[in-house]
Amino acid sequence: MSLTLPQYTPEDAGQPPSLALDYRSTVLRAPQHAPIAIPETLTEVTGPAGCWDRLMGSAMADLTTQHKAPPQGQRIVVSGRVLDEQGRPVPNTVMEVWQANAAGRYIHSKDNWDAPLDPNFTGAGRVVTDEQGRYSYVTIRPGAYPWGNHTNAWRPAHIHLSLLGPAFSTRLVTQLYFPDDPLIEIDPIANAVPMPYRQRMVCRFDIHSTVPNWALGYLFDVVLRGDKATPMEDGHDH
C-alpha cells in the first residue's frame, strides 16, 4: 500500500503530524492537501469566557463523589497550572476531563471489551482555572485497555483533557500520561509526538500534593503556545 504524504508540516516539531502511519486511523483521515486559511470572523474570536458556570453548570472537580459510593481504583489528585508562552497564568479557563475507569473501560456504548463497568464512576469532570491559572481535580487512576490498531495493542493509562479559551476557536485537546508506564514507548498515539516533546504529556508524581492516607498527587502544567507548548492529542481513540 503506497501513500502520499501531506505536503505541509505541523505547527512545530512538538505537535503530532496529521498522518502517523503506525496510528492506522490517521491514514483514512489525514488531509492530502495544504490547509486553506479561512479569515476569522466575530464568531471565531469571541466566546463565553467568564460565564462558564452559568453555561455549563458548576465545576465537577471531584470525579469520585458523583455517585452513591466511591469508585473502584487508586484515588489521585491531579493539579497544576495553565500558562501562556511567556509563563504567565491563564485564568478562567475551562479544563474538561474524561477517562476510562480503573479497569480501562469507558461508559459509552462503543466500548464493549471484556472489562467491568463501574456503576460509581462516570469518568467525566470539569474544572476552571483560578486567577493564578491553577487547577486541581480528584479522580482515580485509569487502567490500560486494548484497541484495534494492531495485534496485541494496548493503550497506556491516560486522561483526556480539553481546554477552552476565551473564543470558540481557542481549544487544546491533549492527553495526560503517567510516569514509568512501559506502554508509552510502544503506543502509536503517544509516539506520534516525537521526543523530547512527548515528555510534556507525562505528569509528575508529587509527594507534596499527595494527601496522607487518601490519594496520590500528580502535577501537570499545560502550556498553550510557544516553544514549550503542550502537544495536541493526535486523534481521538475514545
Catalytic (active-site) positions: 106, 145, 155, 158, 160
Grid coordinates representing 107? 461508559
3-state DSSP assignment of residue 18: coil
Query: Between the CA of residue 149 and those of 23, 26, 100, 152, what are the distances in Å?
Result: 7, 11, 18, 9
Which residues, including other chains, have CB under 8 Å from residue 161's CB and lie 6 or more apart?
95, 96, 97, 172, 173, 174, 175, 176, 222
Q: For residues 74 and 140, is the Cβ–Cβ distance under 8 A?
A: yes
Grid coordinates representing 117? 463497568
Q: For residues 18 and 27, is the Cβ–Cβ distance under 8 A?
A: no
Exposure string of 192-215, with b = 16+ CB inside 10 Å and e = fewer, is bbeeebbebbbbeebeebeeeeeb
3-state DSSP assignment of residue 137: strand
Read off φ and ψ for residue 171, nearest 5 degrees: -145, 135
